[in-house]
Amino acid sequence: MDFETLVRLRKSVRQYEDKKPVPSLIEKCIEAARLAPSACNSQPWSFIVVEDRDLVQKVAEQCVPPVGSMNKFVRTAPVIVVQVMEKTNIQSSIGSMLTDRDYNHIDTGLAMGHFCLQAAALGLGTCIIGYFNESKIKELLGIPKNRRIGLLCTLGYEKGGQKEGTKKRKPLESMLFYNRYKEDENK
């Protein structure tokens, strides 16, 4: 599969088959995340693969807000990957301070991007989850108090088979400029 096809194929999958991917496939996705770029090569991440059925349900519960139906689908995923933000290196922390930019969050997001693209290439579906009760999930998984969770990501086989979705995106011309920023008078 060429890269353009893969990029179009990857989408957020919110309904899964009741079938767990084998560890070697899960590990290929983690490997792709491991190879992601990071500021000063600090690699400020680790990953917990939650695949125990009861534990998946408990983590999934912590992704649903008190009102509304957001993230209820997480319960259907056979696997949830929880990304822990690890200590960064001194160069990256100084860089973050000097530029007023949180490189750790940028790095962890990039790693999750790699994870999702690799999963799609292997025929697996993913959905990055940014809404969750961090302290409850830390408790459930034994993550130390001095660590933060980056992102969560569901992983499994899309219900009914992998299919390309429709992409709702802003038009290219609204976000692409050559040489100089151009303000949109309609914004």
Ligand X SMILES: Cc1cc2nc3c(=O)[nH]c(=O)nc-3n(C[C@H](O)[C@H](O)[C@H](O)COP(=O)(O)O)c2cc1C
Q: Which residues bind ligand X (CB under 6 A)?
A: 11-12, 71, 127-131, 151, 165, 167
Which CB, 11 or 138, lies closer to ligand X?
11
Query: Residue 13 or 48: which CB sits closer to ligand X?
Result: 13
23/65 with CB nearer ligand X: 65
Residue nearest to ligand X (CB): 130
Q: At its nearest, how many Å lie between ligand X and the CB of residue 186?
A: 23
Give the residue among 125, 44, 30 at the shortest CA–CA distance from 85: 44
Q: How many CA atoms lie within 13 A of 97 on its CB side?
A: 7
Smallest separation, CB 90 to ligand X (Å) = 27
Smallest distance, Å, CB 162 to ligand X?
A: 13
* 48 or 63: CB nearest ligand X: 63
Q: Give the residue among 109, 49, 52, 55 at the shortest CA–CA distance from 80.
A: 49
